[in-house]
Amino acid sequence: MDELEERRKKIREKVARRSSPELFGIVLVILIFAFLLFSSLSSFHGEQGNVASKVTKKTGTPEKSVVTKPVVTTKTNISGNMLLPKIVLSEPYNTTYTTSLPPVRFRVYGPYLDSVLLSIDGNKNISIPHNSYIAEVDSNLAPILVGNIPGTLKQWTKSGNFSLNYIYTAEFTFLNSSASSPYFGIYLYNGRNNLKFQIYPYDSRYEPSGGFIGQVEKGKWTFTQTKAPVKITYNQPYKVEISFENGNAKVKINGISWLTYSLQNKNITYNKLVLRAAGASISVNKIAVLKELNNGMHNLTIFANNSLGNSTSKLVYFTVNATQQKVYTIGDTIKAGNLEVTLKRFNGMKQVSITSNLEKNYASVDIEVKNTGKNEFKLKFTPYNPVLVDNLGGTYTYTPVIINNGRWVPQPDQLKLDVIYPGAIRKGTIFFTPAVNINVKSLTLALYLNGGKYVFKFKRW
């Protein structure tokens, strides 16, 4: 028995000695095959990557002839890191706009942002304000200059060629005052010749909630000065727009017409733009200089780079076909967002009984509001209260009316600012003070509801 077991052991050792080299050989063949396959795949992908990098390293704006269709394209250039800036472009998009200043809304974000640039039709790049992580723009197209002033403003100066074909806009906030006549000013200079605009808050001793625009030409100073159509107070953002048309300078505040000034020299080009604050702490969110776009096809390119050497860009084509905008009047309906607003009637002198012994006169408008959306929400006058402006420059302030019929309650005809449900229609009156002067011939109603803007123009009689 021991002899048989000994023979079996020798046979097993013999088989084992023969199998080891064969197994080793099989494993070696498999490893060699895997290495060759991996090398082949790596070579293939490397060639593909080289081709892509040759295409994408170009960061200039493509010419129109390169793209045969109006499309949106995105290009990237990766340099040793996958932390790319991201571009989210909401507007403009591939459509036709009926305004010469289409909207532009985009967001660029990502770590180590180094530069964000915007170009229209391949023209000079405009630097977009940003921090180390994000840049956000919600404005109008065709910028000549876009800038912001960090902290509080004292004086900000920019040299360049600033013509009266441009539109100048500034978004600012009075924070507090330290003098009797604080103001915010926008100035254009060319030697001794200049154009000046100043605005004052409500507590100014010089021009409460008012301002002026004027021009110095060859030592002669002329100007227009009047009260603003809105109250200029503190910690409230305002947007001023200065444009030039038919020899006149026109000023709007929060989209409402304000000042009109007849220029002494409409052909001058200034070489310096200055923003200045005096007697007040003022923050300036943005200063923009815009030039309207001609009708036809245009393109917008956004470039973003970070300090890691990574870059990306986005290009979009769109068309401008600017036509005269419709003027809405009594009986018309304007849709903005999820609301439709209809102006039903106007009353220049509506008498309201405040108590049994007291009556007051107001200007009033009757409106109808419809929720065309899918959700309920609360009606609010945002971002600004309604305002009436007449053709003589008079301004009428929104005034909630409280009456006493045994207890003090809101006047029952007033528009109720509470929840409105999908498909619901809300009717009501908006009151203004004072009553409208009998010499007024026409008025403009600027109504802001839940972020939407509704502007109606109509005759007094």
Tokens at 18, concatenated: 């023969």
Cis before 129 (ω within 30): no
Average pLDDT over residues 162-169: 92
Domain count, the chain: 2
Average pLDDT over residues 335-362: 92
Tokens at 42, concatenated: 């790596």
CB 210 within 8 A of CB 228: yes
User: What is the pairing mode between strands 452-459 and 442-449?
Assistant: antiparallel
Residues 68 and 121 in one domain: yes
d(CA 319, CA 308): 36
User: Which residue range is the domain that position 222 belongs to?
Assistant: 64-320
Q: What is the percent of the chain with per-residue pLDDT over 90, rounded to a whole number?
A: 53
Residues 397 and 290 in one domain: no
Residue 196: inside a domain, yes or no? yes
* Spatial strand order in the sheet of 256-262: 143-149, 280-290, 167-177, 238-245, 248-253, 256-262
Residue with tokens 């769109």: 318
Least confident of 135-149, 176-190, 257-271, 426-440: 135-149
Residues 214 and 81 in one domain: yes
Query: Among 320, 345, 364, where does a domain finish?
Result: 320
Residue 77 has pLDDT above 60, yes or no: no
Residue 7: inside a domain, yes or no? no
Residues 316 and 434 in one domain: no
Residues 225 and 313 in one domain: yes
d(CA 185, CA 159): 17
Select the more confidently predicted residue: 16 or 353: 353
Residue 403: inside a domain, yes or no? yes
Residue 386: inside a domain, yes or no? yes
The distance of Cα 275 from the centroid of its chain, to the nearest Å, equals 20
**Which region, left, alpha or beta, applies to residue 258 given φ > 0 means left and ψ of -120 to 50 means alpha?**
alpha
d(CA 223, CA 215): 6
CB 123 within 8 A of CB 300: no
Query: Among 289, 320, 351, where does a domain finish?
Result: 320
Tokens at 84, concatenated: 């790319």
Residues 220 and 290 in one domain: yes
Q: What is the percent of the chain with per-residue pLDDT over 70, rounded to a whole number?
A: 82
Task: Count CA atoms within 13 Å of residue 141 on its CB side.
Answer: 29
Residues 308 and 341 in one domain: no
The pLDDT value recorded for residue 48 is 39
Residues 152 and 282 in one domain: yes
Residue 41 has pLDDT above 90, yes or no: no
Residues 295 and 422 in one domain: no
pTM of structure:
0.57
CATH number at residue 306: 2.60.120.200
Average pLDDT over residues 252-278: 93
Cβ contacts of 333 within 8 Å, gap of 6 or more: 340, 341, 342
Other CB atoms within 10 Å distance of the CB of residue 415: 22
d(CA 112, CA 304): 11
d(CA 362, CA 180): 33
Residues 134 and 269 in one domain: yes
d(CA 401, CA 412): 9
Ranges 45-49, 177-181, 217-221, most confident = 217-221
Residue 199: inside a domain, yes or no? yes
What single DSSP character describes residue 80?
A: S
Residues 349 and 305 in one domain: no
Residue 26: inside a domain, yes or no? no
Residue 25: inside a domain, yes or no? no
Residues 339 and 314 in one domain: no
The pLDDT value recorded for residue 261 is 95
CATH number at residue 436: 2.60.40.1240
Query: Among 265, 292, 320, where does a domain finish?
Result: 320
Residue 302: inside a domain, yes or no? yes
d(CA 253, CA 330): 24
SS3 of 277-331: the string is EECEEEEEEEEEEECCCCCEEEEEEEEEEECCCCEEEEEEEEEECCCCCCCCCCC
The distance of Cα 427 from the centroid of its chain, to the nearest Å, equals 31
Least confident of 105-119, 171-185, 315-329: 315-329
Average pLDDT over residues 88-116: 90
